[in-house]
Amino acid sequence: MIEHTIQDTPVPALGFGTYQLRGTACREAVADALAIGYRHIDTAQAYENEAEVGAAIAASDVPRDDLFVTTKVWVDNLEPGTARRTTAQSLRDLQMDYVDLLLIHWPNESLAPLEATLDALDALKEDGKARHIGVSNFTPTLLQRAVDHTTIFCNQVEYHPFLSQDALLAQARSHDLLLTAYSPLARGQVLDSDRLQAISERHGKTPAQVTLRWLVQQEQVAAIPKASSAQHRAENFNIFDFHLSDEEMRAIHTLAAGKRLIDPTFAPDWEQ
């Protein structure tokens, strides 16, 4: 598997996201993803599937040290004591002593200042409950506050060919942190792009595979596609046997049109 190295720690460039997967379907999807070769599994308190993710991992024959598991503290749980308590519950649900990456899922200072929440996550890191901490859905302004306060490993944001993240990418590279793309296939809309279709035909791949290759081929970018079917999970993983040219990379970048798919009303401090 192709890997990026951020702060001397290897992180798989392609992970498996579990958003909206629940119950038996979630357990089976995670088990299948592990069998295919995925080693980065992404979940969250808000997904209500940490127990299923943990059960699938526990039942697999993949050593824990070979996995990179991410979970996220929900927007209602950012008061320091609540963050610590709910993370402890996340670990119980996951059947793990630690997660590799613990994120603030969305910014929300109505409960506690950002710095106080980051201190709580840092304390969890010091206690061995998280190897790294980071943020998700942070704008450049909020991300700068975070990196000025502590070591941030990752900013997980919506990123796909139709939404540029140039400012956050520049910031990630400046501060040597990872930018992880969620909704990397724009909820399937990449399949309808004539440009992506043309590039995919040249490589004998699908538009989804070309999109994921475009993401992980960028410096310090990872992607966590969710796929509910075994076929799509296998296809998404099969992106490391071809390379996009500089011209093809630029052509995909020019698709950006400010098309944001995620616009929450529950995160008071979030801004586009």
CB proximity list for 230: less than 8 A, separation 6 or greater: 32
- The enclosing H or E element of 10 equals strand 9-12
Cβ count within 10 A of residue 188: 11
- Strand, coil or helix: 169: helix
H/E stretch holding 149 reads helix 140-149
The two structure tokens encoding residue 251: 């052509």
Residue of 8, 58, 48 whose CA lies nearest to 26: 48
Q: Within a 13 Å sphere around the CA of 141, how many CA atoms are in the beta-carbon half?
A: 5
Q: Which helix (H) or strand (E) holds 100?
A: strand 99-104
16 phi and psi angles, rounded to 5 deg: -120, 120
Question: Is 159 noted as a catalytic residue in this protein?
Answer: no
Distance CA 33, CA 237 (A): 9
Six-digit token pair at 68? 């990179």
Active-site residue, from 19, 38, 47, 159: 47
Active site residues: 47
